[in-house]
């Protein structure tokens, strides 16, 4: 009886551990890790999206576009300091993903911008999107929506989603 209980506990632990780390996606040699977003504040029309791309292959690739039924225009953006000013700009040619490297989309850096969002993102929901890569092709992903205050599911924080009036 003790063996059965121990085996059941071990199986339950493994199931929970797998679930905690299973929010990843793969297309070809590209691994997309833990896409997340933040709940949108009332009146906001844009939301950010963040994740890691690990290229395990021998060839560079490029994230060329993102689509989602929650936003008619999803853009790939870069934020960086230009002197003392933080600038944000779209990357019309996409985002390079070099071979054997990791590219992280995170607050105040590279990120996905969901514009003119049709239904505000709410904490706890999943936002479906398709990432389109130049060589690896499309991959469907889901962004976990965390609290508006900045912490995502998994504990990362950052202050990005303040561009609710970003040119729209």
Query: 104 lies in which domain range?
Result: 24-146
Tokens of 38: 């933040």
Residue 30 forms part of a structural domain: yes
In order of 51, 77, 153, the CA distances from 68 in angstroms are 15, 16, 21
pLDDT for position 160: 37
pLDDT-based confidence at 156, cuts 50/70/90?
very low
- Tell me how many domains the chain contains: 1
Residue 16 forms part of a structural domain: no
Residue 7 forms part of a structural domain: no
pTM of the complete model beyond 0.75: yes
Residue 165 forms part of a structural domain: no
Residue 160 forms part of a structural domain: no
Cα separation, 11 vs 126, in Å, equals 27
Report the largest interatomic distance among the alpha carbons of the chain, rounded to a whole angstrom.
68
pLDDT-based confidence at 112, cuts 50/70/90?
very high
pLDDT 10s digits, 1-31: 444 434 433 333 333 333 334 589 999 999 9
Cα separation, 168 vs 44, in Å, equals 10
The CATH code of the domain that includes 50 is 2.60.40.1890
Cα separation, 11 vs 17, in Å, equals 10
Residue 166 forms part of a structural domain: no
């Amino acid at each position: 009886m003790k063996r059965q209980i121990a085996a059941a506990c071990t199986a339950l632990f493994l199931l929970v551990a797998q679930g905690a780390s299973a929010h990843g996606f793969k297309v070809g040699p590209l691994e997309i890790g833990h896409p997340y977003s933040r709940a949108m504040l009332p009146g906001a029309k844009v939301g950010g999206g963040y994740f890691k791309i690990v290229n395990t292959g021998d060839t560079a690739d490029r994230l060329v576009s993102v689509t989602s039924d929650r936003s008619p225009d999803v853009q790939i953006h870069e934020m960086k300091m230009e002197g003392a000013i933080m600038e944000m700009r779209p990357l019309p040619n996409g985002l390079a993903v070099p071979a054997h490297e990791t590219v992280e989309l995170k607050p105040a850096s590279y990120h996905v911008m969901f514009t003119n969002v049709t239904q505000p993102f709410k904490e706890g929901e999943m936002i479906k999107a398709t990432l389109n890569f130049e060589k690896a092709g499309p991959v469907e992903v889901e962004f976990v929506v965390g609290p508006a205050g900045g912490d995502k599911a998994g504990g990362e924080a950052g202050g990005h989603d303040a561009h609710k009036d970003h040119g729209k």
